[in-house]
Structures are given as structure tokens and as C-alpha cells.
Structure 1
Amino acid sequence: MTQDLPPEQERLVDAVKQRAERRRRARGLPSFARNFGQIGVLGWQVVVPALIALAIGRWLDHRLSSGIFWTAPLLILGVSLGCWSAWKWIGRQ
């Protein structure tokens, strides 16, 4: 593909490829702090929706005097939503 280019453009293409390769090598392995931070983000992405759903379920059960009729299914829904959110976040990383 680069045989059809004039020499100055070939040099430019080679320079871009070389820079991209240097950037790839410079990134290397992620640091411990970055991995630890990602684990924390994943934890919060699962816990926060679960806690919100739990609070809403408890509030509904208290207002309607219904035991755990709303708490249990909303907690399951919150955990499911949190896991789905974490799964999507991992896919983007």
C-alpha cells in the first residue's frame, strides 16, 4: 500500500506508525493503583443501585405495611441493574 505513495508521504506514514508503537509500549501494564481503583468503581456500581432499591423497597413496605413485599424484589432488581451496569463498564474498558 505504501509503494504507491511519494517518498515524503511514506516517511510520514512510517513516522505515524512508529509513534503509535512507542505509545503502545509506553502504556505498558496498568499500575496497582489503577487496578485497585477499577475494582472500587465496580464495587460501587453494584452496591449503589442495590442500596437505592433497598431504601425504596423499605420505604414502600413501611408506608404500605406490607412486610418485605417490595423490599425483596426491588433489592434483586437493584443488584441485577448494578451487575448489568458493571458488565457494560467492563466492556468499555
Structure 2
Amino acid sequence: MDNFIKQIKTQARRKVKAQNRGNHIWSGFGMFGLIGWSIALPVVLGALLGIWIDKRYPGSHSWTLILLVAGLCIGCWNAARWVMKEHKNISDDEAEDE
């Protein structure tokens, strides 16, 4: 019974802490948008740079495709790094509560 009460107190503290920080459903949607932009921006910039290079210096290979894929890799790496950082922060907060 004491373990059950301890779990409820821990959950209540987490809820109050999240409310004080302003974590709610809209901040979660904002994170999805942030991740999307962190991937989309390098992809678009890579494609635009590739188009510019292909127009200025035509060659046998497509710089547009190469830089688009490079932008995708950079964007995915950036998003994964950000998600891991947020996961670590959440894990640290949970460990602090216990």
C-alpha cells in the first residue's frame, strides 16, 4: 500500500512540475513542427544550392540530387540529436522526481 501511495505522489509532483513549466498538448505539437523544420530547411537549401550549381556549371552528375540527399542527412541528424537531448532532459527530470 505504501508503494502505491508513493507512486501517486510521484505522479502528482510530475504533473504539477509540468504545469508550472507550461508543458501541454500545444507544446508537443510545436515540437513536431520544430522537428519538421529542422529536416525541411537543410533539404530545401541543399536543393536550391544544387539547382544554382547545376545551372552555372553543367556537368555529368546532378548537384541538385547530391545536395538534396546531403541536406536530408544533415536534417535527420539534427532532428535525431535534438530528440535525444529532449529525451535525456525528460529522463533526468524523472530520475530527479524519484
* TM-score, normalised via structure 1 length: 0.69
Considering only aligned residues, what root-mean-square deviation do their CA atoms show, in Å? Answer: 2.1
Query: Following superposition, which runs of at least 4 residues in structure 1 exceed 2 angstroms of deviation?
Result: 21-25, 27-30, 65-68
What is aligned with 2:16? 26
Alpha carbons of 1:27 and 1:69: their partners in 2 closer, same or farther (altered >3 Å)?
A: same
Alpha carbons of 1:35 and 1:68: their partners in 2 closer, same or farther (altered >3 Å)?
A: farther
Instruction: Indicate the structure (1 or 2) with the bigger Cα radius of gyration.
Output: 1
2:21 is equivalent to residue 61 of structure 1: no
2:73 is equivalent to residue 87 of structure 1: no
Structure 1 runs not aligned, ≥5 long: 1-20
Task: Report which stretch shifted further, 43-52 or 63-72.
Answer: 63-72
Number of aligned residues: 73
Which structure exhibits the higher relative contact order, with contacts defined as CA atoms closer than 8 Å and separated by 6 or more residues? Answer: 2
Does the 8 A contact of 1:58 with 1:71 survive in 2?
A: yes
Structure 2 runs not aligned, ≥5 long: 1-9, 87-98
